[in-house]
């Protein structure tokens, strides 16, 4: 969920860097580490979680806190002390008292000293009207000869807010997200369940498909061990590949190295029996699921950098119409005719068992 949220945020931010600042908002130490790792895999470039940075080789970043400013007699003293301690990484928080009347004034004063020393600096906006404040702060920095100073925006941001501010061409150089990235938000959850889908027969060589029935069709599961094939348009240059659809199939086809297994075939909506479509005869595919554990041992493992690169590559192959934050086009996820037949026959067996018990 965090990786998905991160990908949505990065898409909204376009080419502007994004930082994960959710350590204090996460529900516990272990979940904070997981969230930092997942956010980086999803595309976010930095984390304020120093331990996660050390464990997963994630670039780290940090800014001044309100408590830092409040611990000094004056905001000016707080900024100048901070710049002396962190001359190469100074980001001044402007809103502890007043962003425009005092914060930016003292940041410019301390920042000029840093620039004279050959360093750069940034300022952070954490409350108020980010659109108005960013433009006003940018103008004040530029008029002071500090055109290279950068602006970081925080304040309970999400992909929709960032998308609006980006579309308005606000002069934001970096976004920082915490609460809405690492917590369980509606926009990055999925209405699905994991249930037992097969049991091993006594001979240990085969599996029998199992199915959970529910009055809620979304909670009625697909039986058997499965593989998912992602189909893409047939182009010589794979860098321009466009994904067409995903097909969930029975495991009986897993391992068949046929990139056109379902090309030209009819596939079905996973929930609505009357909905189906025919794949292009020229579509190619590759399997998405890979075995990770075998006999208790990890046999497949990717480092965080590889996973992040893979996410970036995969997202680049998805048409922008599917990635719209508002009213996106629905990407087709279907089931094969074979899997549909297995589901229907398994469901018939379950219903037959119920009928016998009622008699």
pLDDT at 204 (0 to 100) = 76
Angle at CA of residue 96, ends 93 and 99, nearest 5°: 70
Helix (H, G, I), strand (E, B), or coil: what is residue 125? strand
Residue 208 has pLDDT above 90, yes or no: no
Q: Which CATH architecture has domain 198-358?
A: Alpha-Beta Barrel (3.20)
Which of residues 257 and 139 earns the better pLDDT score? Answer: 139
Confidence of residue 184 (pLDDT cuts 50, 70, 90): low
Please give the backbone phi and psi of residue 208, each rounded to the nearest 5 degrees, phi first: -105, 130
β pairing state of 198-200 and 207-209: antiparallel
Q: In Å, what is the CA distance from 91 to each residue of 42, 148, 209, 239? A: 25, 13, 57, 38
Which of residues 28 and 164 earns the better pLDDT score? Answer: 164
Residue 188 has pLDDT above 60, yes or no: no
pLDDT at 359 (0 to 100) = 58
3-state secondary structure 254-275: CCCCCCCCCCCCEEECCCCCCC
Partners of 250 in beta bridges: 226
CATH superfamily name and code, 2-188: Aldolase class I (3.20.20.70)
- CA diameter of the chain: 90
pLDDT at 239 (0 to 100) = 58
Of 237, 240, 245, give the one whose Cα is nearest residue 265. 245
Q: What's the rounded mean pLDDT across residues 179-187?
A: 74
Please give the backbone phi and psi of residue 17, each rounded to the nearest 5 degrees, phi first: -60, 150
Of 46, 86, 93, 84, give the one whose Cα is nearest residue 65. 93
pLDDT tens for 304-314 read: 999 999 999 99
Residue 27 burial (C-beta neighbours within 10 Å; 0-12, 13-18, 19+)? exposed
Confidence of residue 136 (pLDDT cuts 50, 70, 90): very high
Show the tokens assigned to 234.
């047939």
Which of residues 147 and 285 earns the better pLDDT score? Answer: 147
> What is the percent of the chain where pLDDT is above 90?
57
- For the chain, which residues make up each domain, given as ranges? 2-188, 198-358
Show the tokens assigned to 201.
């027969």
Exposure string for 147-159, b = 16+ CB within 10 A, e = fewer: eebbbbbbbebbb
pLDDT at 235 (0 to 100) = 60
pLDDT at 26 (0 to 100) = 84
Residue 104 has pLDDT above 90, yes or no: yes
pLDDT tens for 34-85 read: 999 999 999 999 999 999 999 999 999 988 889 999 999 999 999 999 999 9
pLDDT tens for 316-354 read: 999 999 998 888 999 999 999 999 998 888 888 877 776
């Amino acid at each position: 969920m965090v990786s998905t949220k991160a990908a949505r945020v990065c898409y909204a931010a376009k080419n502007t860097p994004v930082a994960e600042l959710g350590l204090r908002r996460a529900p516990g130490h272990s979940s904070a580490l997981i969230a930092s790792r997942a956010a980086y895999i999803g595309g976010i470039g930095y984390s304020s979680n120093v331990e996660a940075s050390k464990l997963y080789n994630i670039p780290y970043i940090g800014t001044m806190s309100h408590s830092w400013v409040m611990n000094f007699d004056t905001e000016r003293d707080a900024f100048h002390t901070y710049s002396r301690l962190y001359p190469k990484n100074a980001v001044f928080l402007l809103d502890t008292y007043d962003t425009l009347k005092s914060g930016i004034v003292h940041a410019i004063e301390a920042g000029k000293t840093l620039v004279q020393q050959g360093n750069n600096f940034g300022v952070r906006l954490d409350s108020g009207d980010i659109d108005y404040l960013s433009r006003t702060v940018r103008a004040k920095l530029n008029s002071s000869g500090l055109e290279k100073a950068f602006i970081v925006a925080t304040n309970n941001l999400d992909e929709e807010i960032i998308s609006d501010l980006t579309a308005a061409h606000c002069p934001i150089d970096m976004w920082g997200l915490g609460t809405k990235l690492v917590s369980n938000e509606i926009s990055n959850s999925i209405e699905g369940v994991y249930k037992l889908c097969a049991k091993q027969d006594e001979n240990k060589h085969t599996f029998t498909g199992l199915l959970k029935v529910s009055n809620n069709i979304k909670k009625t599961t697909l039986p058997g061990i499965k593989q998912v094939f992602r189909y893409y348009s047939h182009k010589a240059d794979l860098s321009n590949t466009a994904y067409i659809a995903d097909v969930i199939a029975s495991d009986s086809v897993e391992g068949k190295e046929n990139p056109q297994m379902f090309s030209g075939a009819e596939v079905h909506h996973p929930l609505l029996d009357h909905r189906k479509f025919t794949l292009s005869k020229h579509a190619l595919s590759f399997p998405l699921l890979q075995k990770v554990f075998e006999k208790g041992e990890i046999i497949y493992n990717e480092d965080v950098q590889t996973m992040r690169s893979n996410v970036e590559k995969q997202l680049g192959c998805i048409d922008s119409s599917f990635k719209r934050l508002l009213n996106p086009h629905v990407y087709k996820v279907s089931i094969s005719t074979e899997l549909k037949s297995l589901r229907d026959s398994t469901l018939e067996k379950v219903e037959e068992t119920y009928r016998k018990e009622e008699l």
